[in-house]
Amino acid sequence: MSLSDHPRAYGTAAVAVAFAAGVLVTLGFKDLYPDLESRYQQKRSWARKHGHASASNPSGGATENTTRRRRSSIFWGPVALEDHEAAEDALYLRSPGIVSGIEGCIGGTPLLEIHSLSEATGRTILAKAEFLNGAGNSPKDRVALRMIQAAEEEGLLVPGRGDTIYEGTVGSTGISIAVLARAKGYRAHICMPDDQSLEKSDLLHHLGATVERVPVAPIASPEHFVNLARRRAAEHTASQQDDSRGFFADQFENPANYQAHQAATGPEIVAQTDGRVDAFVAGAGTGGTVAGVARYLKDDAKIPSVRVVLADPQGSGLYNKIRHGVMYSATEKEGTRRRQQVDSIVEGVGINRVTDNFEAGRDLIDDAVKVTDEQACKMARWLVEHDGIFVGSSSAVNCVAAVVAAMSLPKGSRIVTILCDSGTRHLSKLWKRIGEMGLEDEPKPDDLFTLLAIKQSR
């Protein structure tokens, strides 16, 4: 008796054979594309390294489900089956479980597409939403945490001893330090120039920090806000009134700054883009963000074609350093600027010296874009009107530079930049200027390039 004598049995056997063939082909195709497995393993390793949890594993550690592997040797040899859903949770969800304190809210920020800029340029403009870091609401959360942890490892800071963290800052780093200092059992003492927005110093006061607003002075002066913070820390330690110590965080020169971005911000960008990044654009104040991310993209992730572009406000010398190898142009030398540091309304980026953090990645920066105050103001307003994104001056500079960089790349390219902090910290300065320029009332061009006076080169 044959199967042909029993059509129903023949049909059942055919279905079974087809199903088995489908399973085998699927397993075979998996091994035909090993880069998918390696890319997944890279993501999983990154998530485990940085402690990101999954819905099924809030602690972020390995579980039986996430490490279980089945082996099959049919046709194409051993095949590894993984729980990819759990790994995706670990990568893209910051904390589906419980995190430990406010520092657990740092990192894992979203990478969002800015639709209006993508549509205008014909390239995909992506922005790392660092203003959504959960401690001080800026990329400086990562830096402050890393500097504090490094100081604790060296015994320079001991919780509960009465230690104080001193820092010279234009605002964001001080805010992050103030938040984390309280959370970890320290005090914070912040020195800042008196031309920064009042919102920042007011917030620092409310966070329990001691704030010294000092007149703007050149870096060579002992009264420069950074030098003052260094001196205050030394005075604290030398007072010998108790066992407490003063720790000068030194964000401009402390290598923990760029290392924070090389260890976390860069890997997050690569994971969120699957490594498809054509350009990274960021400004430099301390230089830690652009240097750290550049080092990860080029040295660690080894993305050979990625371009790193510096976004620099008017009055800063870094544009000329990258483009021409010198810090100053004729219009930016001493005696010609209204301010001693950077002649710009922009806060947080732009400087006229090369810091150790910037130097750590300077050789990896391919180009620089100069952004005027007028362009920054117009971009900040454009983002509100077209995308509902309300950010500060450094973010606006980054976005202008991202548009310029995009036009030097082929259509369809991906450009990643940074949204640093919310516009709520810039109401009395940037957003006041925007109001004075009439940008919130007068009709404005719908064409981005006309608005910013940028040439469409490609």
Tokens of 328: 């100053």
Question: Residue 168: how many CB atoms within 10 A of its CB?
Answer: 26
Tell which residue, 164, 160, 145, 150, has the closest CA to residue 232: 164
DSSP string, 257-317: HHHHIIIIIHHHHHHHHTT--SEEEEE-SSSHHHHHHHHIIIIIS--TT-EEEEEEETT-S
Quick check: 312 and 404 in contact, CB under 8 A?
no
**Cα(206)–Cα(101) distance, rounded to whole angstroms?**
19
CA-CA-CA-CA torsion sign (215, 221, 223, 229): positive
242 secondary structure, DSSP code: S
Tell which residue, 114, 130, 111, has the closest CA to residue 448: 114
Strand spans (E) along 307-431? 307-313, 367-371, 414-419
Tokens of 344: 């710009």
What's phi and psi for 455, nearest 5 deg?
-80, 140
316's torsion region: left (phi>0), alpha (psi -120 to 50) or beta?
beta
Quick check: 221 and 227 in contact, CB under 8 A?
yes
140 assigned to active site = yes
- Residue 129, classed as helix, strand or coil, is strand
Tokens 């104040």 label which residue? 285
Tell which residue, 204, 217, 208, has the closest CA to residue 185: 208
Tokens 């959370």 label which residue? 183
426 secondary structure, DSSP code: G
Question: Catalytic residue among 140, 200, 378, 429, which?
Answer: 140
Quick check: 422 and 415 in contact, CB under 8 A?
no
Tokens of 142: 């990562």
**Cα(177)–Cα(169) distance, rounded to whole angstroms?**
10
Q: List Cβ neighbours of 33 (8 Å cut-off, separation of 6 or more).
A: none
CA 312 from chain center: how many Å?
Answer: 16
**Cα(166)–Cα(147) distance, rounded to whole angstroms?**
12
Catalytic residues: 140
